[in-house]
Chains A and B, each alone.
Chain A
Amino acid sequence: MGIRLYREPQLNNPILVASWPGIGNIGLIAIDTLRVTLEAEEFAEIEPWHFFYPRRVEIRKGVLEYLEFPSSKFYFKTIQGKDFIFFVGEEQPAEGGRVYAQGKKAYQMANLVVDMADRFKCRRIYTSGAAVALTHHTVKPRVWAVPNNERLIQETSGYENTVLMSDIEGRGGQGTITGLNGLLLGVAKKRGFDAMCLMGEIPIYLQGLPLAYPKASRSVLEVLSHSLQIEVSLGRLDELDEKVERGIEEFYQQIPAEIRAQLDRLKHVTYGKPTEPGPITEEEEKKIMEDVEKFFKKGGGAV
Protein backbone atom coordinates (compact mmCIF):
# COMPACT_ATOMS: atom_id res chain seq x y z
CA MET A 1 0.00 0.00 0.00
CA GLY A 2 1.47 3.33 -0.89
CA ILE A 3 2.02 6.29 -3.09
CA ARG A 4 3.33 6.17 -6.65
CA LEU A 5 5.50 9.21 -7.23
CA TYR A 6 5.96 9.85 -10.97
CA ARG A 7 8.32 12.77 -10.38
CA GLU A 8 9.69 14.74 -7.44
CA PRO A 9 8.83 18.41 -7.97
CA GLN A 10 10.99 20.99 -6.19
CA LEU A 11 8.55 22.75 -3.90
CA ASN A 12 9.17 25.26 -1.17
CA ASN A 13 6.92 24.70 1.86
CA PRO A 14 3.84 24.20 -0.29
CA ILE A 15 0.23 24.33 0.82
CA LEU A 16 -1.73 21.11 0.38
CA VAL A 17 -5.36 21.42 -0.69
CA ALA A 18 -7.34 18.16 -0.60
CA SER A 19 -10.85 16.97 -1.19
CA TRP A 20 -13.01 13.89 -1.66
CA PRO A 21 -16.64 13.64 -2.80
CA GLY A 22 -19.35 14.49 -0.28
CA ILE A 23 -22.75 16.15 -0.11
CA GLY A 24 -23.32 18.19 -3.27
CA ASN A 25 -19.65 17.51 -4.09
CA ILE A 26 -19.09 21.03 -2.84
CA GLY A 27 -15.51 20.62 -1.68
CA LEU A 28 -14.49 18.36 -4.54
CA ILE A 29 -15.81 20.75 -7.19
CA ALA A 30 -14.16 23.72 -5.51
CA ILE A 31 -10.74 22.07 -5.24
CA ASP A 32 -10.89 20.42 -8.64
CA THR A 33 -11.91 23.70 -10.26
CA LEU A 34 -8.92 25.34 -8.63
CA ARG A 35 -6.65 22.55 -9.82
CA VAL A 36 -7.91 22.70 -13.40
CA THR A 37 -7.98 26.50 -13.56
CA LEU A 38 -4.40 26.72 -12.32
CA GLU A 39 -3.37 23.93 -14.71
CA ALA A 40 -1.69 21.96 -11.95
CA GLU A 41 0.42 19.01 -13.07
CA GLU A 42 -0.15 15.44 -11.92
CA PHE A 43 2.88 13.96 -10.15
CA ALA A 44 1.70 11.18 -7.85
CA GLU A 45 -1.20 8.95 -6.91
CA ILE A 46 -2.25 6.66 -4.11
CA GLU A 47 -2.31 3.05 -5.30
CA PRO A 48 -6.02 2.38 -5.46
CA TRP A 49 -6.45 -1.38 -5.23
CA HIS A 50 -6.04 -1.57 -1.45
CA PHE A 51 -8.83 0.92 -1.00
CA PHE A 52 -11.32 0.40 -3.80
CA TYR A 53 -13.25 -2.20 -5.71
CA PRO A 54 -12.62 -1.65 -9.44
CA ARG A 55 -15.25 0.31 -11.34
CA ARG A 56 -14.71 -0.72 -14.94
CA VAL A 57 -13.19 -3.59 -16.85
CA GLU A 58 -12.27 -3.56 -20.51
CA ILE A 59 -12.01 -6.83 -22.40
CA ARG A 60 -10.86 -6.77 -26.01
CA LYS A 61 -11.05 -9.88 -28.17
CA GLY A 62 -11.25 -12.04 -25.07
CA VAL A 63 -8.23 -10.51 -23.33
CA LEU A 64 -8.64 -8.54 -20.12
CA GLU A 65 -6.84 -5.35 -21.06
CA TYR A 66 -7.66 -2.91 -18.35
CA LEU A 67 -9.20 -2.59 -14.92
CA GLU A 68 -10.04 0.92 -13.81
CA PHE A 69 -10.18 2.05 -10.18
CA PRO A 70 -11.32 5.34 -8.66
CA SER A 71 -8.28 7.62 -8.67
CA SER A 72 -6.64 9.50 -5.77
CA LYS A 73 -4.16 11.85 -7.41
CA PHE A 74 -1.71 14.55 -6.43
CA TYR A 75 -0.96 17.61 -8.56
CA PHE A 76 1.41 20.53 -8.07
CA LYS A 77 1.60 24.13 -9.22
CA THR A 78 3.70 27.16 -8.51
CA ILE A 79 1.70 30.35 -8.84
CA GLN A 80 2.53 33.90 -7.91
CA GLY A 81 5.65 32.60 -6.17
CA LYS A 82 3.75 30.15 -4.00
CA ASP A 83 3.83 26.38 -4.25
CA PHE A 84 0.71 24.23 -4.03
CA ILE A 85 -0.10 20.54 -3.93
CA PHE A 86 -3.64 19.50 -4.82
CA PHE A 87 -5.11 16.16 -3.90
CA VAL A 88 -8.32 14.98 -5.52
CA GLY A 89 -9.92 11.69 -4.51
CA GLU A 90 -12.60 10.45 -6.90
CA GLU A 91 -14.21 8.29 -4.21
CA GLN A 92 -13.97 7.81 -0.48
CA PRO A 93 -12.83 4.27 0.36
CA ALA A 94 -16.16 3.38 1.92
CA GLU A 95 -17.33 -0.19 2.44
CA GLY A 96 -20.62 -1.89 3.09
CA GLY A 97 -22.68 0.53 1.01
CA ARG A 98 -21.65 3.58 3.02
CA VAL A 99 -20.94 6.87 1.24
CA TYR A 100 -18.23 8.05 3.61
CA ALA A 101 -15.07 6.28 4.58
CA GLN A 102 -14.57 5.38 8.18
CA GLY A 103 -12.33 3.12 10.21
CA LYS A 104 -9.05 1.59 9.12
CA LYS A 105 -9.12 2.42 5.42
CA ALA A 106 -10.13 6.02 6.00
CA TYR A 107 -7.33 6.42 8.52
CA GLN A 108 -4.80 4.80 6.19
CA MET A 109 -5.77 7.05 3.29
CA ALA A 110 -5.73 10.21 5.41
CA ASN A 111 -2.26 9.23 6.61
CA LEU A 112 -1.01 8.71 3.07
CA VAL A 113 -2.14 12.22 2.16
CA VAL A 114 -0.43 13.62 5.26
CA ASP A 115 2.67 11.56 4.33
CA MET A 116 2.87 13.70 1.19
CA ALA A 117 2.47 16.85 3.25
CA ASP A 118 5.33 15.56 5.38
CA ARG A 119 7.53 14.64 2.43
CA PHE A 120 7.24 18.10 0.87
CA LYS A 121 7.26 19.95 4.21
CA CYS A 122 3.85 21.52 3.65
CA ARG A 123 3.11 24.45 5.89
CA ARG A 124 -0.65 24.03 5.87
CA ILE A 125 -3.42 21.68 4.73
CA TYR A 126 -6.87 22.70 3.53
CA THR A 127 -9.82 20.39 3.03
CA SER A 128 -13.31 21.24 1.92
CA GLY A 129 -16.80 19.83 2.19
CA ALA A 130 -20.44 20.69 2.75
CA ALA A 131 -22.28 22.28 5.66
CA VAL A 132 -25.95 21.31 5.71
CA ALA A 133 -27.70 24.47 6.79
CA LEU A 134 -31.04 26.18 7.30
CA THR A 135 -30.67 28.27 4.21
CA HIS A 136 -32.34 28.71 0.85
CA HIS A 137 -30.94 27.90 -2.57
CA THR A 138 -31.40 31.49 -3.74
CA VAL A 139 -29.22 32.77 -0.89
CA LYS A 140 -25.46 33.04 -1.30
CA PRO A 141 -23.99 30.15 0.71
CA ARG A 142 -21.73 30.99 3.57
CA VAL A 143 -18.57 29.10 4.39
CA TRP A 144 -18.10 27.37 7.70
CA ALA A 145 -14.45 27.27 8.68
CA VAL A 146 -13.15 24.59 11.02
CA PRO A 147 -9.44 24.90 11.86
CA ASN A 148 -7.52 22.25 13.78
CA ASN A 149 -5.81 24.64 16.16
CA GLU A 150 -6.45 27.86 18.08
CA ARG A 151 -4.00 29.96 16.07
CA LEU A 152 -6.07 29.64 12.92
CA ILE A 153 -9.31 30.79 14.54
CA GLN A 154 -8.08 34.37 14.66
CA GLU A 155 -7.14 34.22 11.00
CA THR A 156 -10.61 33.10 9.88
CA SER A 157 -12.15 36.21 11.42
CA GLY A 158 -10.61 38.15 8.56
CA TYR A 159 -12.36 36.04 5.91
CA GLU A 160 -15.49 37.41 4.28
CA ASN A 161 -18.74 35.41 4.26
CA THR A 162 -17.21 32.94 6.71
CA VAL A 163 -18.45 31.68 10.05
CA LEU A 164 -17.10 29.43 12.77
CA MET A 165 -19.20 26.65 14.29
CA SER A 166 -19.68 28.84 17.36
CA ASP A 167 -21.33 31.49 15.16
CA ILE A 168 -24.08 29.04 14.20
CA GLU A 169 -27.00 29.43 16.55
CA GLY A 170 -27.62 26.38 18.71
CA ARG A 171 -24.38 24.65 17.85
CA GLY A 172 -22.22 25.93 20.66
CA GLY A 173 -19.14 25.54 18.51
CA GLN A 174 -19.80 21.81 18.09
CA GLY A 175 -20.49 19.57 15.13
CA THR A 176 -19.14 16.70 13.04
CA ILE A 177 -17.37 16.68 9.70
CA THR A 178 -18.16 13.27 8.30
CA GLY A 179 -15.74 11.26 6.17
CA LEU A 180 -12.27 11.99 4.92
CA ASN A 181 -12.75 15.73 4.43
CA GLY A 182 -13.06 15.85 8.20
CA LEU A 183 -10.77 13.01 9.19
CA LEU A 184 -7.84 14.60 7.37
CA LEU A 185 -8.09 17.57 9.74
CA GLY A 186 -7.76 15.24 12.70
CA VAL A 187 -4.86 13.24 11.27
CA ALA A 188 -3.11 16.49 10.33
CA LYS A 189 -3.56 17.69 13.92
CA LYS A 190 -2.17 14.43 15.29
CA ARG A 191 0.89 14.78 13.09
CA GLY A 192 1.47 18.44 13.83
CA PHE A 193 0.18 20.16 10.70
CA ASP A 194 -1.96 23.28 10.64
CA ALA A 195 -5.14 22.47 8.78
CA MET A 196 -8.52 23.94 8.06
CA CYS A 197 -11.74 22.63 6.50
CA LEU A 198 -13.86 25.08 4.52
CA MET A 199 -17.45 23.95 4.14
CA GLY A 200 -19.93 25.55 1.78
CA GLU A 201 -23.53 25.71 2.95
CA ILE A 202 -26.13 23.58 1.20
CA PRO A 203 -29.84 23.96 1.99
CA ILE A 204 -31.11 21.16 4.17
CA TYR A 205 -33.75 20.19 1.58
CA LEU A 206 -31.10 19.60 -1.11
CA GLN A 207 -28.71 17.47 0.90
CA GLY A 208 -30.19 14.13 -0.18
CA LEU A 209 -30.44 14.91 -3.88
CA PRO A 210 -27.88 13.48 -6.31
CA LEU A 211 -26.99 17.00 -7.43
CA ALA A 212 -23.82 19.01 -7.37
CA TYR A 213 -24.13 22.37 -5.64
CA PRO A 214 -21.57 24.61 -7.36
CA LYS A 215 -23.01 27.76 -5.82
CA ALA A 216 -21.47 26.65 -2.52
CA SER A 217 -18.26 25.56 -4.23
CA ARG A 218 -18.00 29.13 -5.50
CA SER A 219 -18.29 30.49 -1.96
CA VAL A 220 -15.60 28.06 -0.81
CA LEU A 221 -13.29 29.09 -3.65
CA GLU A 222 -13.75 32.77 -2.88
CA VAL A 223 -12.68 32.18 0.72
CA LEU A 224 -9.92 29.77 -0.23
CA SER A 225 -8.38 32.06 -2.84
CA HIS A 226 -8.46 34.90 -0.30
CA SER A 227 -6.79 32.68 2.28
CA LEU A 228 -4.20 31.48 -0.24
CA GLN A 229 -3.73 35.01 -1.56
CA ILE A 230 -4.13 34.01 -5.17
CA GLU A 231 -6.50 35.18 -7.88
CA VAL A 232 -8.69 32.56 -9.49
CA SER A 233 -11.14 32.91 -12.35
CA LEU A 234 -14.50 31.41 -11.35
CA GLY A 235 -15.98 31.33 -14.86
CA ARG A 236 -16.02 27.52 -15.01
CA LEU A 237 -18.04 27.35 -11.83
CA ASP A 238 -20.54 29.95 -12.99
CA GLU A 239 -21.35 27.92 -16.10
CA LEU A 240 -21.92 24.79 -14.02
CA ASP A 241 -23.94 26.73 -11.48
CA GLU A 242 -26.32 28.04 -14.15
CA LYS A 243 -27.10 24.51 -15.34
CA VAL A 244 -27.59 23.10 -11.85
CA GLU A 245 -29.67 26.07 -10.74
CA ARG A 246 -32.27 25.30 -13.40
CA GLY A 247 -32.56 21.69 -12.16
CA ILE A 248 -32.91 22.83 -8.56
CA GLU A 249 -35.62 25.32 -9.46
CA GLU A 250 -37.55 22.60 -11.33
CA PHE A 251 -37.30 20.36 -8.30
CA TYR A 252 -38.35 23.20 -6.01
CA GLN A 253 -41.50 23.84 -8.01
CA GLN A 254 -42.52 20.19 -7.54
CA ILE A 255 -42.60 20.64 -3.76
CA PRO A 256 -46.18 21.19 -2.50
CA ALA A 257 -47.02 24.88 -2.18
CA GLU A 258 -47.54 24.85 1.60
CA ILE A 259 -44.13 23.28 2.23
CA ARG A 260 -42.54 25.58 -0.32
CA ALA A 261 -44.00 28.51 1.57
CA GLN A 262 -42.25 27.27 4.70
CA LEU A 263 -39.00 26.78 2.83
CA ASP A 264 -39.27 30.26 1.34
CA ARG A 265 -38.91 31.61 4.84
CA LEU A 266 -35.36 30.21 4.88
CA LYS A 267 -34.48 33.05 2.49
CA HIS A 268 -34.58 35.30 5.51
CA VAL A 269 -32.56 33.20 7.93
CA THR A 270 -29.29 34.81 8.91
CA TYR A 271 -26.84 33.44 11.36
CA GLY A 272 -25.93 35.49 14.34
CA LYS A 273 -24.51 35.11 17.75
CA PRO A 274 -27.03 33.65 20.18
CA THR A 275 -27.67 37.12 21.57
CA GLU A 276 -28.88 38.46 18.24
CA PRO A 277 -32.56 37.85 17.46
CA GLY A 278 -33.07 35.95 14.19
CA PRO A 279 -35.75 36.82 11.62
CA ILE A 280 -37.62 33.58 12.38
CA THR A 281 -38.26 32.18 15.81
CA GLU A 282 -37.02 28.88 17.15
CA GLU A 283 -40.60 27.57 17.02
CA GLU A 284 -40.88 28.50 13.37
CA GLU A 285 -37.54 26.90 12.60
CA LYS A 286 -38.71 23.68 14.22
CA LYS A 287 -41.93 23.70 12.22
CA ILE A 288 -40.05 24.20 8.94
CA MET A 289 -37.79 21.28 9.75
CA GLU A 290 -40.72 19.02 10.65
CA ASP A 291 -42.54 19.83 7.42
CA VAL A 292 -39.44 19.30 5.31
CA GLU A 293 -38.68 15.98 6.97
CA LYS A 294 -42.29 14.85 6.53
CA PHE A 295 -42.20 15.69 2.84
CA PHE A 296 -38.96 13.86 2.18
CA LYS A 297 -40.01 10.83 4.22
CA LYS A 298 -43.02 10.51 1.92
CA GLY A 299 -40.58 10.20 -0.97
CA GLY A 300 -41.11 13.73 -2.19
CA GLY A 301 -37.40 14.15 -2.67
CA ALA A 302 -37.05 11.41 -5.22
CA VAL A 303 -36.85 13.30 -8.49
Chain B
Amino acid sequence: MSQEHSVKIHKEPGLSQSSLVLGWGDDVGDLGRRTTDYLNRKLKGQEFAEIEPEYYFPLGGVAVEGDLAQFPESKFYVCPQHELVIFQSDSPAVEWYGFINSVLDVAERHCQVKELYIIGAMVSLDAHTTPRQLLAVVNSAELKDVLSQYELIGDMDYQTPPGERPTLNSFLLWTAKNRNIPGVGLWVPIPFYLAGVEDAQAHKKILSFLNERLDLKIDFSDLDQEIQEQNGKLARARSRFPEIDGYIQKLESNLMLSQEENGELMRRIEDSLRETS
Protein backbone atom coordinates (compact mmCIF):
# COMPACT_ATOMS: atom_id res chain seq x y z
CA MET B 1 0.00 0.00 0.00
CA SER B 2 1.31 3.45 -0.84
CA GLN B 3 0.01 6.88 0.00
CA GLU B 4 -0.98 7.62 -3.59
CA HIS B 5 -1.78 11.21 -2.85
CA SER B 6 1.78 11.71 -1.55
CA VAL B 7 3.14 11.35 -5.11
CA LYS B 8 3.17 14.47 -7.30
CA ILE B 9 3.65 13.88 -11.01
CA HIS B 10 4.67 17.18 -12.62
CA LYS B 11 4.96 15.79 -16.14
CA GLU B 12 4.56 12.34 -17.66
CA PRO B 13 8.07 11.10 -18.54
CA GLY B 14 7.01 9.33 -21.76
CA LEU B 15 9.04 6.15 -21.33
CA SER B 16 8.29 2.72 -22.73
CA GLN B 17 10.86 0.37 -21.21
CA SER B 18 13.09 2.05 -18.69
CA SER B 19 15.57 1.30 -15.92
CA LEU B 20 15.44 2.93 -12.51
CA VAL B 21 18.62 3.95 -10.68
CA LEU B 22 17.99 4.79 -7.05
CA GLY B 23 20.33 6.52 -4.60
CA TRP B 24 19.79 7.56 -0.99
CA GLY B 25 20.98 10.93 0.13
CA ASP B 26 22.44 9.80 3.41
CA ASP B 27 24.60 6.75 2.83
CA VAL B 28 28.29 6.08 3.38
CA GLY B 29 30.54 8.52 1.52
CA ASP B 30 27.41 10.26 0.22
CA LEU B 31 27.64 7.78 -2.64
CA GLY B 32 23.94 7.62 -3.48
CA ARG B 33 23.52 11.38 -3.78
CA ARG B 34 26.82 11.89 -5.61
CA THR B 35 26.12 9.13 -8.11
CA THR B 36 22.59 10.26 -8.90
CA ASP B 37 23.74 13.91 -9.08
CA TYR B 38 26.48 12.90 -11.50
CA LEU B 39 24.09 10.92 -13.71
CA ASN B 40 21.61 13.79 -13.73
CA ARG B 41 24.32 16.27 -14.68
CA LYS B 42 25.86 14.12 -17.40
CA LEU B 43 22.61 12.84 -18.86
CA LYS B 44 20.62 16.05 -18.41
CA GLY B 45 18.03 14.51 -16.13
CA GLN B 46 14.79 16.46 -15.76
CA GLU B 47 12.72 16.34 -12.63
CA PHE B 48 9.24 14.99 -13.34
CA ALA B 49 7.86 13.75 -10.03
CA GLU B 50 8.36 13.81 -6.29
CA ILE B 51 7.09 12.18 -3.13
CA GLU B 52 5.78 14.61 -0.53
CA PRO B 53 7.58 14.13 2.79
CA GLU B 54 4.67 14.44 5.21
CA TYR B 55 3.95 10.71 5.61
CA TYR B 56 7.52 9.50 5.71
CA PHE B 57 9.60 11.99 7.67
CA PRO B 58 8.99 13.32 11.18
CA LEU B 59 9.11 17.01 10.11
CA GLY B 60 9.50 18.17 13.68
CA GLY B 61 11.83 20.93 12.47
CA VAL B 62 14.74 21.10 10.06
CA ALA B 63 18.21 19.66 10.24
CA VAL B 64 21.13 22.02 9.65
CA GLU B 65 24.14 20.70 7.76
CA GLY B 66 27.07 22.74 6.51
CA ASP B 67 25.37 25.87 7.89
CA LEU B 68 22.33 25.23 5.70
CA ALA B 69 18.83 24.19 6.67
CA GLN B 70 17.99 20.86 5.06
CA PHE B 71 14.63 19.42 4.13
CA PRO B 72 13.90 15.84 3.09
CA GLU B 73 13.56 15.44 -0.66
CA SER B 74 12.44 12.49 -2.77
CA LYS B 75 12.62 13.33 -6.48
CA PHE B 76 12.35 11.50 -9.77
CA TYR B 77 14.30 12.55 -12.84
CA VAL B 78 14.02 11.30 -16.38
CA CYS B 79 16.68 10.95 -19.06
CA PRO B 80 14.45 10.09 -22.05
CA GLN B 81 17.26 9.38 -24.52
CA HIS B 82 18.51 6.59 -22.32
CA GLU B 83 15.14 5.28 -21.08
CA LEU B 84 16.49 6.01 -17.64
CA VAL B 85 14.75 7.12 -14.45
CA ILE B 86 16.80 8.42 -11.54
CA PHE B 87 15.38 8.59 -8.05
CA GLN B 88 17.23 10.51 -5.38
CA SER B 89 15.86 10.65 -1.86
CA ASP B 90 16.59 10.85 1.81
CA SER B 91 15.81 7.57 3.56
CA PRO B 92 12.30 7.64 5.00
CA ALA B 93 12.11 7.59 8.79
CA VAL B 94 8.70 5.89 9.08
CA GLU B 95 6.17 4.09 6.87
CA TRP B 96 8.93 2.40 4.88
CA TYR B 97 6.67 -0.01 3.06
CA GLY B 98 4.34 2.77 1.94
CA PHE B 99 7.28 4.83 0.77
CA ILE B 100 8.86 1.96 -1.16
CA ASN B 101 5.56 1.20 -2.84
CA SER B 102 5.15 4.84 -3.79
CA VAL B 103 8.53 4.67 -5.53
CA LEU B 104 7.62 1.45 -7.30
CA ASP B 105 4.17 2.78 -8.24
CA VAL B 106 5.78 5.69 -10.07
CA ALA B 107 8.34 3.33 -11.61
CA GLU B 108 5.71 0.90 -12.91
CA ARG B 109 2.74 3.09 -13.74
CA HIS B 110 4.47 6.15 -15.13
CA CYS B 111 7.85 4.87 -16.34
CA GLN B 112 7.32 1.22 -17.35
CA VAL B 113 10.46 0.35 -15.39
CA LYS B 114 11.80 -3.11 -16.18
CA GLU B 115 14.89 -3.17 -13.98
CA LEU B 116 15.94 -1.57 -10.75
CA TYR B 117 19.47 -0.59 -9.68
CA ILE B 118 19.97 0.44 -6.06
CA ILE B 119 23.15 2.24 -5.09
CA GLY B 120 24.68 1.33 -1.77
CA ALA B 121 27.94 1.79 0.08
CA MET B 122 29.44 0.05 3.07
CA VAL B 123 32.31 0.85 5.37
CA SER B 124 35.47 -1.17 4.72
CA LEU B 125 38.62 -1.68 6.78
CA ASP B 126 40.73 -1.83 3.61
CA ALA B 127 43.21 0.89 2.65
CA HIS B 128 42.28 3.29 -0.14
CA THR B 129 45.04 1.78 -2.28
CA THR B 130 43.07 -1.48 -2.49
CA PRO B 131 41.06 -1.55 -5.73
CA ARG B 132 37.35 -0.94 -5.16
CA GLN B 133 35.02 -3.86 -5.61
CA LEU B 134 31.38 -3.95 -6.56
CA LEU B 135 29.15 -6.40 -4.72
CA ALA B 136 25.74 -7.30 -6.06
CA VAL B 137 22.63 -8.73 -4.42
CA VAL B 138 19.84 -9.57 -6.85
CA ASN B 139 16.21 -10.41 -6.28
CA SER B 140 15.97 -12.98 -9.08
CA ALA B 141 18.17 -15.81 -10.28
CA GLU B 142 17.52 -14.73 -13.90
CA LEU B 143 19.01 -11.31 -13.29
CA LYS B 144 21.99 -12.93 -11.62
CA ASP B 145 22.67 -14.85 -14.83
CA VAL B 146 22.34 -11.69 -16.90
CA LEU B 147 24.75 -9.78 -14.66
CA SER B 148 27.34 -12.54 -14.52
CA GLN B 149 29.11 -11.02 -17.55
CA TYR B 150 30.00 -7.90 -15.53
CA GLU B 151 32.77 -7.44 -13.04
CA LEU B 152 30.64 -7.97 -9.95
CA ILE B 153 31.01 -10.03 -6.81
CA GLY B 154 27.70 -11.80 -6.87
CA ASP B 155 28.06 -14.89 -4.71
CA MET B 156 27.66 -13.35 -1.29
CA ASP B 157 26.08 -15.29 1.58
CA TYR B 158 24.69 -13.10 4.34
CA GLN B 159 22.27 -13.16 7.23
CA THR B 160 21.38 -10.18 9.39
CA PRO B 161 23.44 -10.50 12.59
CA PRO B 162 21.53 -10.57 15.90
CA GLY B 163 20.63 -7.11 17.14
CA GLU B 164 20.79 -5.57 13.67
CA ARG B 165 18.10 -4.96 11.06
CA PRO B 166 18.21 -5.35 7.27
CA THR B 167 18.97 -2.30 5.14
CA LEU B 168 16.27 -0.31 3.40
CA ASN B 169 17.84 -1.53 0.14
CA SER B 170 16.96 -5.12 1.08
CA PHE B 171 13.40 -4.06 1.92
CA LEU B 172 13.15 -2.32 -1.46
CA LEU B 173 14.64 -5.25 -3.35
CA TRP B 174 12.23 -7.67 -1.66
CA THR B 175 9.20 -5.48 -2.39
CA ALA B 176 10.29 -5.15 -6.03
CA LYS B 177 10.61 -8.94 -6.21
CA ASN B 178 7.02 -9.30 -4.99
CA ARG B 179 5.97 -6.97 -7.81
CA ASN B 180 8.01 -8.95 -10.35
CA ILE B 181 10.47 -6.15 -10.95
CA PRO B 182 13.99 -7.57 -11.28
CA GLY B 183 16.43 -5.55 -9.24
CA VAL B 184 19.98 -5.47 -7.98
CA GLY B 185 21.44 -3.88 -4.89
CA LEU B 186 24.94 -2.62 -5.68
CA TRP B 187 27.38 -2.22 -2.81
CA VAL B 188 30.78 -0.56 -2.92
CA PRO B 189 33.02 -0.95 0.16
CA ILE B 190 34.51 2.45 1.04
CA PRO B 191 37.62 2.75 3.26
CA PHE B 192 36.41 3.90 6.65
CA TYR B 193 38.57 7.02 6.64
CA LEU B 194 36.89 8.19 3.43
CA ALA B 195 33.35 7.34 4.56
CA GLY B 196 32.72 10.77 6.09
CA VAL B 197 33.97 12.69 3.07
CA GLU B 198 33.93 11.14 -0.38
CA ASP B 199 35.56 8.37 -2.33
CA ALA B 200 35.99 9.23 -5.98
CA GLN B 201 37.17 5.69 -6.78
CA ALA B 202 34.02 4.15 -5.30
CA HIS B 203 32.02 6.71 -7.21
CA LYS B 204 33.62 5.71 -10.47
CA LYS B 205 33.32 2.01 -9.72
CA ILE B 206 29.56 2.11 -9.51
CA LEU B 207 29.18 4.59 -12.36
CA SER B 208 31.34 2.46 -14.65
CA PHE B 209 29.08 -0.50 -14.10
CA LEU B 210 25.92 1.53 -14.77
CA ASN B 211 27.56 3.07 -17.84
CA GLU B 212 28.32 -0.32 -19.29
CA ARG B 213 25.11 -2.03 -18.29
CA LEU B 214 22.77 0.77 -19.40
CA ASP B 215 24.90 1.83 -22.37
CA LEU B 216 25.03 5.44 -21.19
CA LYS B 217 28.21 6.44 -23.10
CA ILE B 218 29.43 8.72 -20.32
CA ASP B 219 32.84 10.36 -20.64
CA PHE B 220 34.51 9.95 -17.26
CA SER B 221 37.48 12.24 -17.84
CA ASP B 222 36.24 14.67 -15.15
CA LEU B 223 35.88 11.82 -12.66
CA ASP B 224 39.34 10.49 -13.56
CA GLN B 225 40.67 13.98 -12.83
CA GLU B 226 38.88 13.93 -9.48
CA ILE B 227 40.38 10.54 -8.61
CA GLN B 228 43.83 11.82 -9.51
CA GLU B 229 43.36 14.87 -7.29
CA GLN B 230 42.10 12.80 -4.38
CA ASN B 231 44.98 10.37 -4.71
CA GLY B 232 47.37 13.34 -4.78
CA LYS B 233 45.89 14.73 -1.57
CA LEU B 234 46.09 11.34 0.12
CA ALA B 235 49.70 10.90 -0.98
CA ARG B 236 50.57 14.36 0.36
CA ALA B 237 48.88 13.55 3.67
CA ARG B 238 50.98 10.37 3.91
CA SER B 239 54.20 12.23 3.32
CA ARG B 240 53.27 15.11 5.67
CA PHE B 241 52.23 12.87 8.55
CA PRO B 242 54.48 9.82 8.96
CA GLU B 243 52.15 8.29 11.56
CA ILE B 244 49.28 8.45 9.05
CA ASP B 245 51.48 6.75 6.49
CA GLY B 246 52.25 4.10 9.12
CA TYR B 247 48.57 3.49 9.79
CA ILE B 248 47.80 3.13 6.08
CA GLN B 249 50.76 0.78 5.65
CA LYS B 250 49.34 -1.35 8.45
CA LEU B 251 45.99 -1.50 6.67
CA GLU B 252 47.77 -2.35 3.42
CA SER B 253 49.35 -5.27 5.29
CA ASN B 254 45.90 -6.36 6.51
CA LEU B 255 46.68 -5.39 10.10
CA MET B 256 44.11 -3.88 12.41
CA LEU B 257 44.44 -0.41 13.90
CA SER B 258 43.49 0.51 17.44
CA GLN B 259 40.40 2.61 18.02
CA GLU B 260 42.59 5.66 18.70
CA GLU B 261 44.58 5.06 15.51
CA ASN B 262 41.37 4.71 13.50
CA GLY B 263 40.12 8.02 14.89
CA GLU B 264 43.39 9.82 14.21
CA LEU B 265 43.55 8.48 10.65
CA MET B 266 40.00 9.56 9.92
CA ARG B 267 40.49 13.03 11.35
CA ARG B 268 43.75 13.71 9.51
CA ILE B 269 42.52 12.36 6.18
CA GLU B 270 39.23 14.22 6.36
CA ASP B 271 41.12 17.46 7.14
CA SER B 272 43.53 16.84 4.28
CA LEU B 273 40.78 16.15 1.75
CA ARG B 274 38.86 19.25 2.78
CA GLU B 275 41.88 21.47 2.24
CA THR B 276 41.86 23.21 -1.12
CA SER B 277 44.75 22.02 -3.27
Q: Could you tell me which A residues sit within 8 Å of B by CB distance?
A: 1, 49-50, 53-64, 67, 95-96
Contacts and interface: CB of A to CB of B under 8 A. Distances in A.
Interface residues of B, number: 32
B174 A61 contact: no
Given A50-B97, A95-B94, A1 B1 contact: yes
B154 A62 contact: yes
Given A62-B144, A63-B144, A56 B160 contact: yes
B165 A64 contact: no
A239 to B, nearest CB: 24
Contacts of A96: 58, 93-94
Contacts of B94: 95-96
B116 interface: no
Interface in B210-268: none
A61 B144 CA distance: 10
B146 interface: no
Closest 10 CB pairs of A and B: A57-B166, A62-B154, A67-B174, A59-B158, A56-B160, A57-B170, A49-B97, A95-B94, A54-B166, A64-B139
B138 A67 contact: no
A64 B173 contact: yes
Given A50-B97, A95-B94, A61 B157 contact: yes
A54 B58 contact: no
A288 B40 CA distance: 65
B165 A53 contact: yes
26 contacts: A49-B97, A49-B175, A50-B1, A53-B165, A54-B165, A55-B160, A56-B160, A57-B167, A58-B159, A58-B160, A59-B137, A59-B158, A60-B157, A61-B155, A61-B156, A62-B136, A62-B137, A62-B144, A62-B153, A62-B155, A62-B156, A63-B139, A64-B137, A64-B138, A64-B139, A67-B170
B177 interface: yes
Interface of B: 1, 58, 93-94, 96-98, 136-141, 144, 153-160, 165-167, 170-171, 173-175, 177, 185
Nearest to A56: B160
Nearest to A60: B157
Given A54-B170, A55-B166, A62-B144, 13 more contacts: A1-B1, A54-B165, A54-B166, A56-B159, A56-B166, A57-B167, A57-B174, A58-B159, A59-B157, A61-B155, A64-B185, A67-B171, A95-B94
Nearest to B159: A58
B158 A58 contact: yes
Contacts of A50: 1, 97-98
B96 A57 contact: no
B166 A62 contact: no
B137 A63 contact: yes
B154 A57 contact: no
A63 B159 contact: no
**Most chain B beta-carbon contacts within 10 A, residue among A55, A58, A67:** A67
B80 to A, nearest CB: 30
A61 B154 CA distance: 7
B28 to A, nearest CB: 18
A271 to B, nearest CB: 39
A59 B157 CA distance: 5
A62 B139 CA distance: 9
B133 to A, nearest CB: 13
A11 to B, nearest CB: 29
A210 B235 CA distance: 50
A53 B137 CA distance: 19
A63 B141 contact: yes
B170 A64 contact: yes
Nearest to B138: A63
Contacts of B165: 53-55
A91 to B, nearest CB: 12
Nearest to B171: A54
Contacts of B156: 59, 61-62
A59 B153 CA distance: 13
Contacts of B98: 50
A50 B144 CA distance: 29
B112 to A, nearest CB: 23
Contacts of B155: 61-62
A88 B108 CA distance: 36
Contacts of A61: 154-157
